[in-house]
Amino acid sequence: QVQLVESGGGLVQAGGSLRLSCAASGRASSGYAMGWFRQAPGKEREFVATISKNGGIRNYADSVKGRFTISRDNAKNTVYLQMNSLKPEDTAVYYCAASGLRSSSSADRYDYWGQGTQVTVFS
């Protein structure tokens, strides 16, 4: 079992930055590929970014490529999402997820989910 807790969300002006954190407890997060997903009001949950167990492979949704960076610190059991050049369309609840399989953009591949953190970008 892995418990995930996101933090770092908030209200930010367009063009600004936020860094989300996802702290894992229970089993070591190094045993899991990690991902970030988001869900805006009235929309389905969508993939944002994923990182492999050792951090060597990272993938991003086209909508965030070049603006967001996913990273992890396995010694701290924490995964980060650095979000720069934020846009109003980035407004959503952001979820951290852990997968015992390879990193994937498919939410179905993830076994554990956090409760989410709200990000609101205003223009």
What pairing do the DSSP bridges indicate for beta strands 18-26 and 78-83? antiparallel
| pLDDT reported for residue 26 | 84
pLDDT of 7-61, one tens digit each? 999 999 999 999 999 999 887 778 899 999 999 999 999 999 999 999 999 999 9
| Helix (H), strand (E) counts: the chain | 0, 11
Residue 35 CB contacts under 8 Å (≥ 6 apart), including other chains: 47, 48, 49, 50, 51, 96, 97, 98, 99, 103, 104, 105, 110
Residue 100 CB contacts under 8 Å (≥ 6 apart), including other chains: 31, 32, 33, 111
- Under DSSP, is residue 41 helix (H, G, I), strand (E, B) or coil? coil
| pLDDT reported for residue 6 | 98
Alpha helix locations (H) across 19-63?
none
